[in-house]
């Protein structure tokens, strides 16, 4: 081989590093993606878990400190930093040079965000003023770094349409035919348009935030159908996750963040785990993908329950019954039962 010959690279060239996640024991969805041409850290935020998380407060504080350092280290190794939206578990408002110094910041445009997020954004950029090499609004744009590409979705809802948290952008990083998609906070996903975009992205790895089951209402009945009777959004998210699993070319679907704040999640998302096995796809939390136990389950096993003491696996017949009731009450379009039969059952 001559020095003037082109470099021939073998094997995968896009590497995903799970930096900080709720399944590790902190509120975060921080990912580092490394390519031969650029390394990018997505959503460099981290916050302590709430008291419903089954770990003693001193352990939660220790985890917070550990993963704050991990995020700093990740940004120090990156040339670009992505801010998908302005919640404090997705960014750190700090003048630390290793976080933002000399970086290209690719962020949501505060001018098209909710007033609350725009206010946080204004404070954030005032705090880091003078540190970044460049600041670019990312919404709906694509940026090339030699063979690597960073592409951002138009604004998608942070959960349900018109919800108070507003909107976020999804981030894809690609190099050649390799691609990873990080959705940020899409609440499951819940919206069909968001699911459409994820399904059609042609990513081999998709990282989603998962439905926040810790917001579900608790009913006194011991009947599984009654337990989930008002929780049709949970079932919608299950339908959408199963559809994403069926996307051509997808190999790994990571569901974490909001999902991993509730130790009941293996029971609530049983249908998704079952579908992944059926399709021979990899599905789980970031910790599970790495061969570990999610922190919320480890805490529950070691320290016992906090808020929730009785629950049931969500089986297919019960999940469909939830949708049927919501349709009958006029809260959902009737297409959802057909979607359930197509993608889940």
**pLDDT at position 166 over 90:** no
- Position 10 scores a pLDDT of 57
pLDDT tens profile 21-46: 999 999 999 999 999 999 999 999 99
Closest CA to 148 of 106, 176, 182: 176
d(CA 114, CA 156): 13
What does the pLDDT average to over 117-132? 93
Where do the H-state alpha helices sit in 3-83?
Answer: 57-76
**pLDDT at position 165 over 90:** no
* Cβ(208)–Cβ(254) below 8 Å: yes
Superfamily of domain 15-343, CATH level 4: Ribonuclease Z/Hydroxyacylglutathione hydrolase-like (3.60.15.10)
What does the pLDDT average to over 283-287? 98
Closest CA to 23 of 209, 257, 213: 257
d(CA 115, CA 18): 31
Chain-centroid distance of CA 60 in Å reads: 21
pLDDT tens profile 195-243: 999 999 999 999 999 999 998 864 333 344 444 445 899 999 999 999 9
DSSP class of residue 236 equals: H
Going by pLDDT thresholds of 50, 70 and 90, the confidence category of residue 3 is: very low
Going by pLDDT thresholds of 50, 70 and 90, the confidence category of residue 114 is: confident
pLDDT tens profile 180-200: 999 999 998 999 999 999 999
Residue ranges covered by each domain of the chain: 15-343
**pLDDT at position 162 over 80:** no
Q: Which residues contact 56 (CB under 8 A, 6 or more apart)?
A: 303
What does the pLDDT average to over 128-140? 95
What does the pLDDT average to over 99-126? 92
Q: Which residues contact 6 (CB under 8 A, 6 or more apart)?
A: none
pLDDT tens profile 310-345: 999 999 999 999 999 999 999 899 999 999 999 998
**Better-scored residue on pLDDT, 291 or 157:** 291
> Average pLDDT over the chain, rounded to whole?
91
Interhelix angle 335-343/232-245, nearest 10 degrees:
40
What does the pLDDT average to over 135-158? 95
Stretch (H or E) spanning 142: strand 142-145
Query: Helix (H, G, I), strand (E, B), or coil: what is residue 150?
Result: strand
Q: Is 81 exposed, middle or buried (0-12, 13-18, 19+ CB in 10 A)?
A: buried
- Position 9 scores a pLDDT of 55
DSSP track, 245-307: HTSTT--EEEE-GGGGG-TTHHHHTHHHHHHHHHHT-EEE-HHHHTT---HHHHHHHHH--SS
Q: Is 315 exposed, middle or buried (0-12, 13-18, 19+ CB in 10 A)?
A: middle
């Amino acid at each position: 081989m001559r020095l003037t010959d082109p470099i021939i690279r073998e094997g995968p060239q896009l590497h995903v590093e799970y930096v900080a996640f709720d399944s590790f024991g902190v509120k975060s969805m921080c990912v580092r993606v490394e390519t031969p041409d650029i390394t990018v850290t997505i959503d460099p935020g981290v916050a302590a878990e709430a008291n419903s998380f089954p770990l003693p407060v001193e352990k939660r504080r220790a985890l917070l400190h550990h993963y704050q350092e991990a995020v700093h280290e990740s940004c120090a190794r990156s040339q670009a930093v992505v801010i998908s939206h302005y919640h404090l578990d997705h960014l750190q408002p700090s003048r630390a040079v290793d976080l933002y110094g000399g970086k290209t910041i690719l962020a949501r445009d505060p001018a098209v965000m909710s007033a609350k997020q725009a206010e946080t954004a204004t404070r954030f950029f005032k705090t880091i003023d003078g540190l970044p090499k460049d600041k670019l609004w990312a919404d709906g744009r694509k940026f090339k770094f030699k063979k690597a590409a960073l592409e951002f979705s138009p604004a998608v809802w942070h959960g349900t349409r018109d919800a108070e948290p507003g909107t976020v952008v999804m981030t894809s990083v690609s190099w050649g035919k390799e691609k990873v998609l990080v959705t940020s906070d899409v609440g499951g996903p819940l919206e069909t348009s968001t699911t459409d975009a994820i399904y059609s992205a042609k990513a081999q790895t998709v990282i989603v935030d998962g439905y926040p089951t810790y917001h579900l209402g608790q009913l006194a009945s011991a009947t599984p159908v009654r337990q989930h009777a008002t929780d049709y959004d949970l079932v919608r998210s299950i339908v959408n996750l199963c559809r994403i699993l069926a996307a051509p070319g997808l190999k790994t679907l990571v569901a974490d963040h909001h999902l991993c704040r509730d130790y009941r999640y293996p029971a609530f998302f049983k249908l998704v785990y079952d579908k992944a096995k059926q399709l021979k796809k990899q599905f789980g939390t970031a910790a599970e993908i790495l061969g570990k136990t999610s922190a919320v389950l480890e805490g529950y096993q070691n320290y016992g329950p906090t808020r929730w003491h009785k629950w049931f696996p969500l089986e297919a017949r019960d999940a469909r019954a939830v949708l049927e009731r919501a349709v009958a009450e006029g809260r959902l379009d009737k297409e959802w039962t057909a979607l359930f039969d197509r993608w889940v059952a």
